[in-house]
Structure 1
Amino acid sequence: MLNTLSISNYRSLVKLVIPLGRLNLITGANASGKSNLYKALRLLAETAQGGVVNALAKEGGLEACFWAGPEVISDRMRRSEIPIQGGPRSKAKRLRLGFTGDDFGYSISLGLPKPSNSAFSLDPEIKRECIWACRSGSSTYRPASSLIDRDTSLIKIREKRNWQVMSQNIATFDSIFSQISDPDKTPEVITLRDNIRHWRFYDHFRSDMDAPARHAQLGTRTPVLHHDGRDLAAALQTINEIGSHEALADAISDAFPGAHLKIAIKEDARFAIEFYQYGLLRPLSGQELSDGTLRYLLWVAALLTPRPPPLMVLNEPETSLHPDLLPALARLIISASERTQVWVVSHASRLIAALEEHEDCHSIRLKKELGETSVVGQGMLDEPHWVWPDASK
């Protein structure tokens, strides 16, 4: 489980360090930085997929992702080690992302390359990557707890009390996760990489009339719903067979009293939804379902997965749902948080209220002042201690 997330110099997230729980609710007004926090977490996930440079390119390049707030620097920012372009303490600009978990911490620092004639001269470079051990009582980075230290093209690994050079020519666009795979010398790299690769993001379920989820699809066992929901019928049938049939039935009746669901398997092995609603003489097909009903079924399939991930991130799950469905959705999310760490990014007051009734809900409300995102009610003393390995650069 992630215990702390830290982001530096990414859009409005100038210096953000937040503690995390089992169920995390991210709220705030429009333009407060919720989307930036979500995107930063996705960038962290891309490090283990080998796609962080490409992901930054899709956002307009590293330069476009740097904080672009006012030139006047607040006292909070002046006390930090954050490099601010044009400020009196300006240094080489870095975008930094990091987290601590139960066993390990990880951080990555990205910067602009030196000017060159290369066609890829605007690609960001990985300047520093570190993995350290998280011990009880202290999870922040300390040189003594460091296990893997990558400085530009040089990778060192700790063996007992000594450092050993593992590579001196790693490409500056490659993460250590894609370059190190020795289970004996660097088991922590493999553990973290596999953990991050299993993070699951849901932020865009199609519900238009041409959405694949509305139509019969070739079905195979589907313990993990596709991020766009294309294999909904197969995922629901998988829950019926190897997941919790009772939980699925309860989730349907909780939102639609008297309703139940059946998956029809056609002769050509295609799976289709049949939704039986109280008072109707025949089931509704996927094409006949309202956007809200279809989206709720998609969330049911995602949250009742028989193969829960280490982390599941839901971005505005209230989209297209009638407010009366939000308490049932909240109960689904709370139940899922008992099996996996959950993030919910939302601005729906009814969903927020239902989630915050749960005693383990960790509510994080964001605000923005002078272009900088911060956590409401979090002062300097409330902020978890965090040290960047390359804070002096």
Structure 2
Amino acid sequence: MAHESQPMRINQLRIQNYRTLRDVTFKELAPLTVLCGPNGSGKSTVFDVFAFLYDAFTSGLRASWDRRNRISEIRSRGSTGPVTFELKYRASISGGNPRLVTYRLAVDERAGVPVVVEEKLQWTTALGSGRPRDILSFENGRGTTWDEETGEATTEELASPDLLAVSALGQFQSHPRVKVLRDFITGWYLSYLSVDDTRNIPTAGPARRLSQTGDNLPNVVQYLQENHPDRLNEIFEVLARRVPWLERVESETLADGRLLLRLKDAPFSEPVLSRYVSDGTLKLLAYLIVLYDPEPPTVIGIEEPENQLHPKLLPILAEEIRQVSSRSQVLVTTHSPEFVNEIRPKELWTISRGADGYAGVRRASDDEKVLAMVKQGAQLGWLWNEGYLTSADPADV
């Protein structure tokens, strides 16, 4: 029996020894996950876990490690042992039955260099149950892989213990299950959008995906104009409904080869340069380009979308994000009750730091009092304002 292809989703994430996240587990993650809490609670640290893994798979573990100032700034204060991440998700090969998959990565440091002390990829052997099989198991650059054609294990050795076996072997078609994970993680998009960067005038040339800061926004508009005009028109239609006076957005190549972004207001005959457009309009355009990507990212991370956006636009943005969560898993961190009002209890997690300085998390749907009030018509943002969301308010810290 054929099975419809379902987007891969992280079902569970466990983080150990990563900054304030000494031991935190997110279970039964929804397609849309929203994280709220006071300043300094650890929201950005959770976001950075995704960034760390993405950087490690795309730029290399050493670069990701060094970018965060190595073990002294990465490992939880007062802790010993490796920094560990464990992902559980469901995946299938060639349209087969989806299987529960576990990926575990443990990293430590020796002589200032990161070392992969453990890396393991396991697939269950039957739908929903069955004994896990080690597809890949490495320690300190050496390990074994399971050959799916012969059913035999093969010993492998990497060139260096700071290399990720999944990243290296996932480039080969002979390791399809490893490739699925590598493609999944390298397909993430994590947004650190800066409105100032979206006003950039870059060198002309199409770009398929928006950069993390949005500094190539004109290039992505150019790419969509040339390759996906219908999708670009769809983005413009959505934007025009949210910003009624905006008629169209266009990119223009200058004589010196740079690319200019221009936006036209309906009442005026000529478009204006993006540098003269409001922060909120540019940021909403950038978010819509990410959310309406013709080849959607496997995971989308958005940090504090409320910045530079009018509060009335936040419920609208939440609606757009919910629609895209049917094809991409989405993680959002926020301080905005207006945004949280549009979120369901199973999608909302609160985070706070305890007396020991380490963060803990709790899902809103695990609080019976919160569930009872939501069933009576209360919105989660209102409950947050009124102090009913445990650990989400600075007064609770």
| Partner in structure 1 of residue 102 of structure 2 | 105
Structure 1 residue 164 displacement after superposition: 2.9
| Partner in structure 2 of residue 180 of structure 1 | 169
| Partner in structure 1 of residue 324 of structure 2 | 336
> Contact (CA 8 Å) 1:43, 1:55: kept in 2 or not?
yes
| Partner in structure 2 of residue 390 of structure 1 | none
> Contact (CA 8 Å) 2:349, 2:364: kept in 1 or not?
no
Structure 1 residue 231 displacement after superposition: 2.5
Matched, 1:17 2:6: no
Distance 2:77 2:32 in 1: 31
Amino acid at match of 1:137: G
| Partner in structure 1 of residue 51 of structure 2 | 42
Structure 1 residue 10 displacement after superposition: 1.0
Distance 1:378 1:301 in 2: 30
Structure 1 residue 237 displacement after superposition: 4.4
What aligned pairs does 1:72-221 form with structure 2 within 5 A after superposition? 84-85=79-80, 93-103=81-91, 104-113=101-110, 121-134=111-124, 136-138=127-129, 144-159=132-147, 164-168=153-157, 170-180=159-169, 183=172, 185-205=174-194, 207-208=195-196, 211=197, 213-214=198-199, 216-221=201-206
Q: 1:219 to 1:337 in 2, by over 3 A?
A: farther
Secondary structure in structure 1 of the residue aligned to 2:289: helix
Distance 1:320 1:220 in 2: 28
**How far does the alpha carbon of each residue in 1:243-296 deviate from its partner, in whole angstroms, 9 at most, with x for none?**
524531332123212422131534647543332335445433212112222222
Distance 1:181 1:149 in 2: 14
> Contact (CA 8 Å) 1:62, 1:123: kept in 2 or not?
no
Structure 1 residue 230 displacement after superposition: 2.4
Structure (1 or 2) with the greater helix fraction: 2
Distance 1:379 1:337 in 2: 19
> Contact (CA 8 Å) 1:44, 1:98: kept in 2 or not?
no
Secondary structure in structure 2 of the residue aligned to 1:375: strand
> Contact (CA 8 Å) 1:50, 1:175: kept in 2 or not?
no
> Contact (CA 8 Å) 1:251, 1:332: kept in 2 or not?
no
Q: 1:112 to 1:264 in 2, by over 3 A?
A: closer
| Partner in structure 1 of residue 358 of structure 2 | 372
Q: 1:256 to 1:299 in 2, by over 3 A?
A: same
- The count of residues paired between Structure 1 and Structure 2 equals 342
Structure 1 residue 347 displacement after superposition: 1.4
| Partner in structure 1 of residue 265 of structure 2 | 277
Matched, 1:68 2:77: yes
| Partner in structure 1 of residue 15 of structure 2 | 7
Structure 1 residue 190 displacement after superposition: 1.9
What aligned pairs does 1:180-329 form with structure 2 within 5 A after superposition? 180=169, 183=172, 185-205=174-194, 207-208=195-196, 211=197, 213-214=198-199, 216-240=201-225, 242=228, 243-266=230-253, 268=255, 271-280=259-268, 282-329=270-317
Structure 1 residue 378 displacement after superposition: 8.3
Secondary structure in structure 2 of the residue aligned to 1:244: helix
**How far does the alpha carbon of each residue in 1:197-251 deviate from its partner, in whole angstroms, 9 at most, with x for none?**
111111132x23xx4x335544434331122222323323444551524531332
Q: 1:273 to 1:95 in 2, by over 3 A?
A: same
> Contact (CA 8 Å) 2:42, 2:351: kept in 1 or not?
yes
Distance 2:173 2:292 in 1: 35
| Partner in structure 2 of residue 116 of structure 1 | none
Q: 1:284 to 1:325 in 2, by over 3 A?
A: farther
Distance 1:25 1:136 in 2: 29
Structure 1 residue 34 displacement after superposition: 0.6
Q: 1:292 to 1:157 in 2, by over 3 A?
A: same
Amino acid at match of 1:133: W
Amino acid at match of 1:197: T
Amino acid at match of 2:250: I
> Contact (CA 8 Å) 2:221, 2:232: kept in 1 or not?
no
Distance 2:329 2:181 in 1: 16
Secondary structure in structure 1 of the residue aligned to 2:326: coil
> Contact (CA 8 Å) 1:110, 1:126: kept in 2 or not?
yes
Q: 1:49 to 1:238 in 2, by over 3 A?
A: closer
> Contact (CA 8 Å) 2:300, 2:328: kept in 1 or not?
yes
In structure 1, runs of 5+ residues without a counterpart are 70-83, 86-92, 114-120, 381-393
Give the root-mean-square deviation of aligned CA atoms.
2.9
| Partner in structure 2 of residue 383 of structure 1 | none
Secondary structure in structure 2 of the residue aligned to 1:124: strand
